[in-house]
Structure 1
Amino acid sequence: MTTGKRLIILRHAKAEHGYVGTDHERELTDKGRKQAQKVGALLTEADCIPDHVICSTAVRTRQTLDLAMERMPRRPTVDYESAAYMAGIDTIFDLINVVDADIETLMVVGHNPTMAQLAAAFLEDEPLMSFPTASVALVNLEVDWLYAAPGIGTAQILT
């Protein structure tokens, strides 16, 4: 049964290296800010605006999301999830599986290697060679969020 659900997978944009504070507090670089705005424009041009977002609580993911949303015609609802920071792919699927069935397009904003693993879980014919900062994958799901799992849907890399 095809439900028309879309999952957008977004790795945060370029962040500072050598930051004095904690990893959780790292901010975007100027390049990262531009990348995040381009992601918002890309999603708008592709008519792929999320209804809801699950975003890691790290500063760099929050900044990426905020800057991307500046370029979108409407703002989605957002859950900032501490569990998404340093999460493995199973934790991300746990978060996706409890999303309300009324949500048509969901975006997850997080970190590598998990975002790359999540995108790769839906690629059919080609291996994922890299998933650099500000990469976006779009997954068309064949099931409701409750049943989202690796291989249940197909992905394409947008950037």
Structure 2
Amino acid sequence: MTKRLIVLRHAQAEPLIDGSDHERALTPEGRDQARAAGATLASAGALPDHVVCSTALRARQTLESAVEAAGRIPDPDYERDLYGADVSAALEVVSRTDPDVETLLIVGHNPTMAQLVAAFMPDEPLDSFPTAGLAVIDLEVEWLYAAPGTGAVRLLT
């Protein structure tokens, strides 16, 4: 049984001028990027059964705007661990996914999201993973065993 992991990097955010990085909001262009990502998910038939999203404002807003365009995305679980996570921590979040979930969307930050995607692409370099970048990883294992080498990547943006 194949599981599908969808990786979404948050869309373009306002620069940090003053205040908390965790509370940076999306720019108007970022909202457009996120809506385009949602439309891409819908047109690719890659709508998730479950969503795990960073607690950072820009990640939450990316998900909200993507939902506007995709039409149907389940209520997310917000994971503080995805903010500032490395690849190992992101895979730990994935490994805790309920086995009944077939398609998981994870919304987070770079460099982790790019590194996560690249880890599943050992034979080809990942040149970039832009804001609102989307990748689908078709896993050959259950969530608990998700790791580099256990799936194939398809870049959607």
Counterpart residue number, 2:23: 25
Match of 1:121 among 119, 122, 144: 119
1:48 aligns with 2:46: yes
Counterpart residue number, 2:142: 144
Q: Give the superposition deviation at 1:121.
A: 1.0
Q: Give the superposition deviation at 1:124.
A: 4.2
Counterpart residue number, 1:130: 128
Q: Give the superposition deviation at 1:74.
A: 1.9
How far apart, in 2, do the equivalents of 1:152 and 1:98 lie?
A: 16
**TM-score, normalization by structure 1:** 0.95
Superposition CA RMSD, Å: 1.0
How far apart, in 2, do the equivalents of 1:93 and 1:10 lie?
A: 14
Match of 2:81 among 80, 83, 87: 83
1:155 aligns with 2:153: yes
Counterpart residue number, 1:65: 63
How far apart, in 2, do the equivalents of 1:48 and 1:133 lie?
A: 19
Residues paired across the two proteins, number: 157
Code of the residue aligned with 2:8 in structure 1: it is L
1:94 aligns with 2:92: yes
- 2:53 counterpart SS class: strand
How far apart, in 2, do the equivalents of 1:124 and 1:88 lie?
A: 18
Q: Give the superposition deviation at 1:78.
A: 1.0
How far apart, in 1, do the equivalents of 2:21 and 2:71 lie?
A: 32
1:26-84 deviations in Å (ceiling 9; x for gaps) = 00001000000000000000000011111000000000001101122322131100011
Question: Structure 2: 5+ residue runs without aligned partners?
Answer: none
How far apart, in 2, do the equivalents of 1:131 and 1:13 lie?
A: 11
Q: Give the superposition deviation at 1:18.
A: 3.2
